[in-house]
Amino acid sequence: MSPFRAALPRLAAALLASALACSVGGAPGPDGLGPQAAAAPESGTAPPHVPQARPVEPHQPDTVRASRLPEEARRTLAIIAGGGPFPYRQDGAEFRNRERHLPRRGPGYYREYTVPTPGSTDRGARRIVAGRDGDRWYTDDHYRRFRRIEDP
């Protein structure tokens, strides 16, 4: 049996459900999704306000003022602003934003920098990610959550 023929019962059910929804809820509105609003009564009063659905925004990360960051992060910001030298060889490497926690940008837009963690024997989990246009982000849990860094 062809894939099209196998999908016919599901397609017919979806069309029937759509037709029933329109007959129960009225004609579809201008957007084709919801029922059309009722016309205003002759008395001149407007129909009750129906709030319009707003598009869902991608998650907006928290912000943190640079002055509220740990001292080590503020030092790292100063080193980034001065162009180095950087204490870790990985500093300045491309951050690819694979998990898409940050706004989508083109390849090479983001660079990552280590924020030293006192008492840690390795680079630790803290990082600053800097965008080419000056946006900066802080994470203290190895990229699970970011906070946009605001200047004081």
Domain extents in the chain: 62-150
44 or 143: which leads in pLDDT: 143
Please identify which of the residues 59, 72, 94, 112 carries the catalytic annotation: 112
Query: What is the pLDDT at residue 12?
Result: 55
Coil, strand or helix at 66: helix
Confidence (pLDDT) at 1: 57
| 112 is an active site residue | yes
Strands (E), the chain: 62-65, 93-95, 110-114, 127-131, 136-139, 147-150
Determine the Cα–Cα distance for residues 37 and 50; give it in Å rounded to an integer: 9
Q: pLDDT tens for residues 14-29?
A: 555 555 444 444 445 5
pLDDT of residue 151: 83
Q: Is 55 left (phi over 0), alpha (psi -120 to 50) or beta?
A: beta
At residue 26, what is the residue type? Answer: G
Per-residue model confidence as pLDDT tens digits over 36-81 = 544 545 555 555 555 554 444 455 558 999 999 999 999 999 999 9
User: Whose CA is closest to 118, among 74, 70, 77, 81?
Assistant: 70
Q: Spell out the alpha helix ranges (H) of the chain.
A: 3-25, 71-82
Domain 62-150 has CATH 3.10.450.30: yes
Query: 115 burial class (0-12, 13-18, 19+ CB within 10 angstroms)?
Result: buried
pLDDT at 5 > cutoff 50: yes
pLDDT in tens, 85-117: 999 999 999 999 998 999 999 999 999 999 999
pLDDT of residue 23: 47
Active site (annotated) includes residue 142: yes
Could you say which of 71, 94, 142, 150 is catalytic? 142
